[in-house]
Amino acid sequence: MLFRSTHICAEKYGIEGMTPDAMIQRDDLQAVVNLTPPLAHFGTSKALLQAGKSVYCEKPLAFTLAEVQELVALAEASGLRLGGAPDTVLGAGVNTVMDLIQGGHVGTPVGYAAHMLCGGHESWHPDPDFYYQPGGGPLFDMGPYYLTALVHWFGPVASVAASARTVRDHRTIGSGPRAGTVFPVEVMTHIVCTLTHHSGVIGTLTTSFETPSHELPHIEIHGTGGAIRAADPNGFGGPVVARQPGQEWGEMPLGSGPENNMRGLGLRALYEDASSPVGAPRVAHVVEIMAAALESAQQKSVLTLATRPACGWDSTARA
């Protein structure tokens, strides 16, 4: 049986609607974009790879490093492409920050403070339960946008230390036909991570579903010679503002890359260059960072990461 949304999209775009199982069985499809719910990402991606199809997956690709490594092994054994969201790392906002860093605007990068802060999704989402179930929470839901950009700018993370808590054990749906329904919270909803990069940069990332009011920048980067405030990494454009000692903050002109939403850009980049920021090595590293952060919070310890992807992709080299 097809979902109503499948029928709507098929009619709107003039394409054939089909179930996931039917898609897996088709032999005329080379690649599939996996947009299933988070808990189905690993199983669906595995089945697609086993069926000989390349996969570009919505974030997160999986929830443990072991799961990601299994998918990577399947892809490599079959000569298939594997990667995943977010593709916003390919946009003008992230590229402009990279240009400023590489151009010496901040001097030697020292650290950053990144903030993904909101009150949660139950106020606007009609079925928000999965955001608060295993595989959800602010880190796995929104963390990939931030971490993918941070790894792109500063290289792989060497170690993670984190603290986390759940403030409210129940949430109430605020809109849609289930408005007023109370449901349980099964994940950490406020996580603070300290990330030490192999490059020497040390930064913090806070992800929270407990902070409805704040004025903090999405990401503020500091170096020996200046600072940058990056745009929301859950978007392709700006604004990007920067300053140097003795100067005021000023908006910087955006560099290469799209400024508006261009979903599908990631799949194209994956086929053009498997070493791009949406390729499996980077995606696996981001999954390991998030899984290690939650484990660190539980163990109250600093954890060393196993993955160390190369991070030298040049966005200007693409056609």
Mean pLDDT of 178-201: 97
Q: Give one DSSP letter per residue of 139-162, joined into a string.
A: HHHHHHHHHHHHHHHH--EEEEEE
d(CA 205, CA 195) in angstroms, rounded, equals: 8
Mean pLDDT of 154-167: 97
Cβ atoms of 289 and 158 closer than 8 Å:
no
Mean pLDDT of 232-258: 93
Pick from 240, 231, 153: nearest CA to 197: 153
Determine the pLDDT at residue 315.
41
| Residue 280 pLDDT > 80 | yes
Mean pLDDT of 209-237: 96
As a whole number of Å, the CA-based R_g of the chain is 20
d(CA 283, CA 61) in angstroms, rounded, equals: 7
Q: Which pLDDT band, with edges at 50, 70 and 90, does 20 fall under? A: confident
d(CA 142, CA 211) in angstroms, rounded, equals: 14
Q: Which pLDDT band, with edges at 50, 70 and 90, does 9 fall under? A: confident
Mean pLDDT of 83-97: 95
Cβ atoms of 175 and 125 closer than 8 Å:
yes
| Residue 314 pLDDT > 50 | no
Q: How far does CA 303 lie from the centroid of its chain?
A: 21
Determine the pLDDT at residue 318.
33
Provide the whole-model pTM. Answer: 0.93
Mean pLDDT of 1-6: 70
Q: At a CB cut-off of 8 Å and minimum separation 6, what does 48 contact?
A: 23, 24, 32, 34, 55
Q: Which pLDDT band, with edges at 50, 70 and 90, does 227 fall under? A: very high
Greatest pairwise CA separation for the chain in angstroms? 64
Q: Count CA atoms within 13 Å of residue 185 on its CB side.
A: 20
Q: Which domains does the chain have, with CATH numbers?
A: 4-84 (3.40.50.720), 89-317 (3.30.360.10)
Q: How far does CA 12 lie from the centroid of its chain?
A: 28
Cβ atoms of 22 and 48 closer than 8 Å:
no
Joined together, the tokens standing for residue 140 give 């796995």
Q: At a CB cut-off of 8 Å and minimum separation 6, what does 290 contact?
A: 60, 139, 140, 143, 144, 147
Determine the pLDDT at residue 2.
61
Bigger pLDDT: 101 vs 7: 101
| Residue 1 pLDDT > 70 | no
